A and B are shown apart, each in its own frame.
Chain A
């Protein structure tokens, strides 16, 4: 190797090292490693496990789509899918309506405004398992405080079977989820509301707009990007909910409240059928992707928001 070649190589390396590309790549390396190790690898492994007959304590062999074929003919799985969709749909709609309503109230000039804003976050702050345990008592078949109060009032004779009757159980778990999820929606939307310039409302008022018109034509359009983000997160949290169901019903009565996440756990970990559990978890991905795409297209409306062309 001659001197000139070495020098040439060195200068090429140096110029690359000095370039922004190299620095940029270097700075991104930790994040990339982190994502690869803790996101891509587990996700990839989960997808792979779904194609194997792995059991806890035993490596599986590739079995193609057999897990999915078995699930396709499994009424419990389809019940879990419809429960999950139903649960997510109703809980998200309720959380959105109630959360928006709460945000609008908190945006008004109330006495002790900061106190109320802080206290509203409590259901979100309390660990899910704790609030789920509280709801478990509230919904208890024998000791429910709701049933007790209604019996004392003389409105009903026997306790309400909150978690024993399939539709009651579904409504009960949705109510608990809504209670827990409202603060997230409300506080996020409140932040969005505060970015709406007061002058717009004032101008509209001068033009004689009613409160409903101001909400419909100023607040709602200005809030759309925030709503898109908040509701995407809300849908994702709800769709993947686990703790609440696991404490309240473990998926009962007779699988009426089993979500895909709880069924995946039940079959995968205590049941030891890792492959099938993974397949159920993988089956959640299309739904989650759909909601992320929804958010992506929701966010695109920002251009129009900022006066650009749609």
Chain B
């Protein structure tokens, strides 16, 4: 199913009419408990967001914003930055106290300057109770000391994509559920000349997703609840040894892969199994020459390891309001409006399975059942575990990820540059540098 801008605008217009909005456009489901935010006189807002990955997602966001402006008269300017540039820009805005009023940022960003953000606990708790509750993993990114310093926005789901015919040719009728079976599948695919490939290079998104899955699925963790580095553990060692075995089945060159390499290799038929966002599927159906690949493509969640449950990092985004804004009420009204069921559903639909809902109620969105390939991405918010698990979120957890500590640990071991024990010891040392500052 493809959603273009025209369809979406049409659908949104219908929703506006159907919702029968009042003058302020704020008609929440539970009117009695809903907080009412009255935008300040003459308020205007600026939102800094990441450059969209799916055009229809942006179209839906803009359509919702326009509805808000029409209903309240509050103009909202939306600035876009490439996703790696949002972090420094937002941090500078928070520190300097000027710039955008709101930011759509990544991972632990709000935790790096919690005292510069407007407390949105009232709104957060209301939205949670009205829409079936927040997913705990996402909630963790947005909360500090029991207060909401941001609203969880979405998880960008990551899932295994594979070629069904190649899996069957390798002797597997269905996709293995556990890490042991997964290794067997990768071995069989390798033997058939249709190998798997996961990035061991400096791939900000895919590389971290894979490395964190390796670690967590085997029960390892970077730090304990108090923030003490505990990466040097038997569980981590088991995960590194597992990664070594898996690496032997990969296509050569994965240690140089950045974020786009796995998409490219998969779409060119060079690898038959990798993990990615749903974007790889949309790239395939857009090109008639890749119809065979698109038809053969299936998605599934990453297998479950010794830890016994599905745990993944995924990419996460939250949206927060800076304290320096002159119009905090208008900003809260805007967020409340964007999280209204109709608007949120229109946005999730527009993102065509790229953005996974933050609130459990929206799991019922038809986008997840509209295409079987979407199903694996529907669980992103549920299986998500915050970065720097199980410790506190903040500059240390963010720094460790940005410095590729975990990605490097696996890459040094699988390429044989260091023994697993030395690679783990080095990661421990590097992580300690951040966690003891």
- In the complex, the answer to whether B87 meets A272 with C-beta atoms within 8 Å is yes
- In the complex, the answer to whether B202 meets A164 with C-beta atoms within 8 Å is no
Contacts of A70 in B (CB 8 A): 433
- In the complex, the answer to whether A169 meets B408 with C-beta atoms within 8 Å is no
Question: Which of chain A's residues has its CB closest to B116's CB?
Answer: A57
Say whether, besides A57-B92, A272-B395, A252 and B202 are in contact (CB < 8 Å): yes
- In the complex, the answer to whether A143 meets B264 with C-beta atoms within 8 Å is yes
- In the complex, the answer to whether A57 meets B256 with C-beta atoms within 8 Å is no
- In the complex, the answer to whether A142 meets B417 with C-beta atoms within 8 Å is no
- Helix, strand, loop or mixed for chain A's interface? loop
Report the count of interface residues on A (CB-CB < 8 A): 38
Q: How far is the CA of A140 from the CA of B270 in the complex (A)?
A: 12
Contacts of A55 in B (CB 8 A): 112, 395
Which of B88, B113, B415 is in CB contact (< 8 Å) with A253? B415
Contacts of A254 in B (CB 8 A): 255, 408, 411-412, 415, 417
- In the complex, the answer to whether B84 meets A142 with C-beta atoms within 8 Å is no
At the interface with chain A, which of B32-40, B53-61, B146-154, B397-405? B397-405
- A198 within 8 Å of B by Cβ? no
- In the complex, the answer to whether B201 meets A250 with C-beta atoms within 8 Å is yes
Contacts of A14 in B (CB 8 A): none
Q: Which of B391-437 contact A (CB under 8 A)?
A: 395, 398-399, 402-404, 408, 411-412, 415, 417, 426, 430, 433-434, 437
Say whether, besides A57-B91, A141-B253, A254-B411, A266 and B403 are in contact (CB < 8 Å): yes
- In the complex, the answer to whether B87 meets A252 with C-beta atoms within 8 Å is no
- In the complex, the answer to whether B201 meets A161 with C-beta atoms within 8 Å is no
Question: Which of chain A's residues has its CB closest to B200's CB?
Answer: A253
Contacts of A249 in B (CB 8 A): 201-202, 256
Report the count of interface residues on B (CB-CB < 8 A): 43
- B182 within 8 Å of A by Cβ? no
Contacts of B403 in A (CB 8 A): 266-267, 271
Contacts of B116 in A (CB 8 A): 57
Min CB–CB distance B426 → chain A (angstroms): 7
Q: Which of A18-45 contact B (CB under 8 A)?
A: none
Task: Point out residues on B near A: beta carbons under 8 Å.
Answer: 84, 87-88, 91-92, 94-95, 112-113, 116, 200-202, 204, 251-258, 261, 264-265, 268, 270, 395, 398-399, 402-404, 408, 411-412, 415, 417, 426, 430, 433-434, 437
20 additional contacts (CB under 8 A) given A58-B112, A142-B270, A266-B402: A56-B88, A56-B112, A57-B92, A141-B253, A142-B251, A142-B261, A161-B256, A163-B256, A164-B253, A166-B417, A249-B202, A250-B201, A250-B258, A252-B201, A252-B256, A253-B415, A270-B204, A271-B399, A271-B403, A273-B437
